[in-house]
Amino acid sequence: MTDTSYDFGSGRADPDTFPVKALQAAARQAIEEEAVALTRYPGGLGHLGLRKAMARREQEREGTAVDPDQIILTNGSMQAVTLTAQTLQEAPGDTVIVEEFSYPGTLAAYRSLKLRMEGVPVSESGMRLDALEERLHSLSKVGRQAKFIYTISTCQNPTGATMPRRDRLELIALAQRFSVPVIEDNCYADVHYEGPVEPALYSLDDSPAQIYICSLSKILGPGLRLGYLIARSPVRDRVLENRNDAGGNLLAAAIAAKFYENGIWQHAAVTNAALKTKRDLLLQGLAQELSDACCWSTPAGGLFVWVRLPEDVDRKKLWALSQSSGVSYLPGSSFHVAAKDVPYLRLAFGHLSHADIGDGVRVLARCIRESRQSNAPRDFDSLF
C-alpha cells in the first residue's frame, strides 16, 4: 500500500481557512479573563459566553429566540449524540429510528448502547416519510414503540440530502402522532453554499419532543471538540442528570466565545466560499470522469459527495486498488445501518487542495473502471 495522497475519506474543515491569528488573540484574552473560572469545574451547561454566542447563531439562522440556559455545551457534538440517546433510552434493546444511511459515529454509539436501529430509506429530500410512517405503524403493532427518531435533516451525512420545510412539518406531525421524540443533528447547518436554509425542527415545534444537536467542528475545527445540544424542560434536566463529566473544556469554549463575539457569519462566509470552490471542483471532476458510470449528489452544503456505483463494480477490488493507488474514501457499508455492502462511496473534499481534488478524482475514476466487469453505461439515472 502506498501512502494516501488523495484523502477523500475524512470529513474535516479546510486547514487554509483556519483562523490562526484571530484564535491566538482570542486565546490570550480568554485566558486572562477566565483565569479564576479555569481553576474551577465548568458544570453541566458549560461556558455562558459560548452558550450566548451559540444562542445568537441559532437565533440568527432560525429567527426563533433560544434561551442560552437551554443549551448544553458538549465535547464535540458526538457527546451530545451519546448523551441524548442515553437520556431517552430506557433499556438495552430499545428501538430507535435512523436514516438507512447515517453518520458512522452515531451508528457506533447506538450500537454500543445496544439500541436496536431501524433504518428508514432516504431520498433526495432526506428521510422518506412514507417509509417512516409505515415503520412507526408496524413497530407500534408489535409493541416496539421507537424511543426516538434520529435525523440529520440538513446536508445529511453521507447523502447530502436536505429535507424541505413541508417534509419537516410532516415529520413533526408523524412523530407527534406516534408520541416519539426527535433528535435532530444539524451539524452541517452553517456549512451552506446555496439554496434555501430550511428551518430546524425546534423552530417549527416548541415542544420538549424536539431535541437539537449542533457543532463547531464544521465551521471552525473538530480539534476544539466543541458541540452542543438544545433541549427544553424536562428533557434538558434529564440530560444534565445523565452527564457525569463535570462539564466540557472551558478553555476551548472561552476561546471560541471570544472569537465569535460578533457572531459566526463573518468567518462562516470565508470558510463556505473556500469549501464551495472545492465542492464545485469535485463535481466538475466527477462529471468529466464518471458521468457514464456513476450518479452523485450535489449537496447544497456540508463536506461530502455521495456517489452511486454501478452494480458490476467489484467493491473489494476497488478498495484494494484505490488504497494501492493512494486514494482513500469511505465505502457505503460504513454508513449503512446494518453495515450492508451497498454500491456507494462517500467523498469528502474539505481539506484537499484544489490540485489534489482534480488529480484524485482521475485516479479514483481509473480504479472504478478497472474494478468493473464491463464498460456498459450505467443503468440508473438517480442517486437512490
Ligand X SMILES: Cc1ncc(COP(=O)(O)O)c(C=O)c1O
Distances (CA, A) of 92 to 83, 84, 85, 189, 226: 15, 15, 11, 31, 28
11 binds ligand X (CB under 6 A): yes
Name the segment binding ligand X (CB under 6 A); options: 70-78, 239-247, 345-353, 354-362: 70-78
* Cβ-based nearer residue to ligand X, 105 or 358: 105
Q: Is the Cβ of residue 78 or residue 209 nearer to ligand X in the bound state?
A: 78
CB of 271 within 8 A of CB of 17? Answer: yes
> b/e per residue, 58-82, with b = 16+ CB within 10 A?
beebbeeebebebbbbbbbbbbbbb
Piece in contact with ligand X (CB under 6 A), picked from 49-57, 77-85, 288-296, 333-341: 77-85
Instruction: Name the residue type at position 337.
Output: V
- The nearer residue to ligand X, 102 or 371, going by C-beta atoms, is 102
Q: Which is nearer to ligand X, 70 or 217 (CB)?
A: 217
Return the residue nearest ligand X (CB atom). 76
DSSP letters for 370-383: HTBS--PPPS--S-
- Taking CB under 6 A as the criterion, the residue among 42, 44, 49, 76 binding ligand X is 76
Q: Please, which residue, 213 or 250, has the CB nearer to ligand X?
A: 213
Q: Of these, 152, 254, 275, 309, which contacts ligand X (CB under 6 A)?
A: 152
- Piece in contact with ligand X (CB under 6 A), picked from 65-73, 125-133, 215-223, 282-290: 215-223
- DSSP structure class, residue 224: G
Nearer to ligand X, 77 or 87 (CB): 77
By C-beta, is 187 or 250 nearer to ligand X?
187
Which position among 146, 187, 286, 347 is part of the footprint of ligand X (CB under 6 A)?
Answer: 187
Interaction between residue 363 and ligand X (CB under 6 A): no
Say whether residue 191 binds ligand X (CB under 6 A): no
User: Is residue 222 a contact point for ligand X (CB under 6 A)?
Assistant: yes
Positions 297 through 336 that interact with ligand X (CB under 6 A): none
* Bridge-based pairing state of the strands 295-296 and 304-308: antiparallel
Q: Is 185 in the site for ligand X (CB under 6 A)?
A: yes
Under DSSP, the state recorded for 352 is S
Should residue 217 be labelled a site residue for ligand X when binding is judged by CB under 6 A?
yes
Give 151 or 322: the residue with its C-beta nearer to ligand X.
151
Distance CA 180, CA 341 (A): 30
Which residue has cell 450518479? 295
CB 155 within 8 A of CB 124: no
For residue 210, the minimal CB distance to ligand X (Å) is 17
- Binder of ligand X out of 227, 247, 331, 360 (CB under 6 A): 227
Taking the C-alpha atoms of residue 164 and residue 125, their distance in angstroms, rounded to an integer, is: 6
CA distance 227 to 246: 16
Q: Does 9 bind ligand X (CB under 6 A)?
A: no
For residues 261 to 280, the per-residue mask of contacts with ligand X, x marking binding by CB under 6 A and - elsewhere, is --------------------
Q: Tell whether residue 78 is a contact of ligand X (CB under 6 A).
A: yes
Name residues whose C-beta falls within 8 Å of residue 54's C-beta, 6 or more positions apart in sequence: 66, 68, 71, 73, 214, 228
Place of cell 430499545: 94
**CA 211 from chain center: how many Å?**
15
Q: Does 103 bind ligand X (CB under 6 A)?
A: yes
User: CB–CB of 357/303 below 8 Å?
Assistant: no
Which residues bind to ligand X, rule: CB under 6 A? 11, 76-78, 81, 103, 105, 152, 157, 185, 187, 215, 217, 222, 227
